[in-house]
Amino acid sequence: GIKDSAERIKSGKLNKRGDTRGCFITHGHSNDRIYSIWCDMKRRCKNPKNKRYNRYGGRGICVCEEWENFENFYDWAIKNGYEENLTLERKNIDGNYCPDNCEWITFAKQQRNTSRSRFVTANGQTKTIAEWSEITGIKQDVIKDRLNKLGWSEQEAVTIPTMRMGGKRWLL
């Protein structure tokens, strides 16, 4: 009945489809973005039919027991800087969704922290190619070409400025 459904939400138990549709919600946040974030996080980790399951639950990534309860997740989120323009990020992409491994960051920063991002170390700092491009003013494609086609070291690729000769930009 309704009481059982409410308990499923409070305990974080999912229905047969691997989600919370059809459950009675008691927290008053069912239409809020933060609730969608929580539901999506759980679906990615628990529902093999979710299109991104293989990148999360299929790799062993799970939601900590504490966050199985929406109210606990909500309390952590509010205390740790949740805003409508931020997204939930796992600091260690191989780690679980839990308070010690998550933070709220901008969408732009999250796009840099994907498994597709290439990290480059120079001057003792490790950053994505996109970040090095912003810092140095060297276009991302130039950095990639220096590394992949020209065989430059990571240090050289992001620290040697490009030169203009005859109106054209050169790699050297």
pLDDT of residue 48: 96
- Select from 20, 28, 37 the least CA-distant residue to 84: 37
Integer Cα distance of 38 and 47 in angstroms: 14
Question: DSSP letters along 99-122, please?
Answer: GGGEEEEEHHHHHHTSTTPPEEEE
pLDDT of residue 115: 61
Q: SS3 sequence, 3-36?
A: HHHHHHHHHCCCCCCCCCCCCCCCCCCCCCHHHH
Strand partners, 122: 125
pLDDT of residue 169: 58
pLDDT of residue 168: 61
Cβ count near 1 (within 10 Å): 6
pLDDT of residue 11: 45
Is residue 41 within 8 Å of residue 69, measured between CB atoms? no
> Taking the chain (172 residues) in consecutive chunks of 10 residues, what is each chunk's mean pLDDT?
43 49 60 93 96 93 96 97 94 92 87 73 89 90 93 94 70 54
pLDDT of residue 100: 97
pTM over 0.85, yes/no: no
Integer Cα distance of 87 and 75 in angstroms: 16
